Amino acid sequence: MGKARVLVVDDAKPIVMVIDTNLRLAGYDVLTAYNGREALQAIREHRPDCVILDIMMPEMSGWEVLEEVRADPEIAKTQIMMLTALGDDSDISRGYELGVDMYLTKPFEPDELIEFVERVLEIGCEEGLLDDDDDF
C-alpha cells in the first residue's frame, strides 16, 4: 500500500502547514482540510489511515466530526487523534468517551506529534484496520 495517509484538519492554516511539513519529512502522505465538513468529505473520499483533528473549528467542530465518523459504519474504524488547545481533564475524557484514539494538546513538539501518529497507526495495525505491509 505504500506510505500511510494522514489527514490534517485545523482551521489555522499556519498550524496545518507546520504539521504537513513535519509529516511529509517523516515520510507520510498528507491530506489537509480546514473545517469539519471538509474533514468528513476527505475521510469518506480518501480513507486516510490517520486523522489529526482540531476541536474548535467553523461549520462543524471536531467533536461533531468524531461523532459522525464513529456513527458511520463505513468509516467508523478510522484512526483519529485530537490535536487541540482544549487540555482540561473534562475535554480529554470527552474525547476518549467519544472514541478518539489519541489526544494531544497544543502547543506540541513536532517530534511528539510524529510519535503520536506512529502510535495511532500501530493501534490500527493491531486492530487489523491497516495492512501489515503498510510502510510507515
Q: Is the pLDDT of residue 131 over 70?
A: no
H/E run at residue 105: strand 102-105
The matching CATH number, chosen from 3.30.70.660, 3.90.79.10, 3.40.50.2300, 3.30.360.10, for 5-126 is 3.40.50.2300
Domain segments of the chain as ranges: 5-126
Strand partners, 69: none
Cell for 1? 500500500
**Which H/E stretch holds residue 81?**
strand 79-84
Q: Which three cell numbers mark 10?
A: 485545523
Tell which residue, 5, 93, 1, has the closest CA to residue 49. Answer: 5
Distance of alpha carbon 83 from alpha carbon 88, whole angstroms: 13
| pLDDT tens per residue, range 84-99 | 999 999 999 999 999 9
Report pLDDT digits (tens) over 48-83.
999 999 999 988 999 999 999 999 999 999 999 999
Quick: pLDDT tens for 96-113: 999 999 999 999 999 999
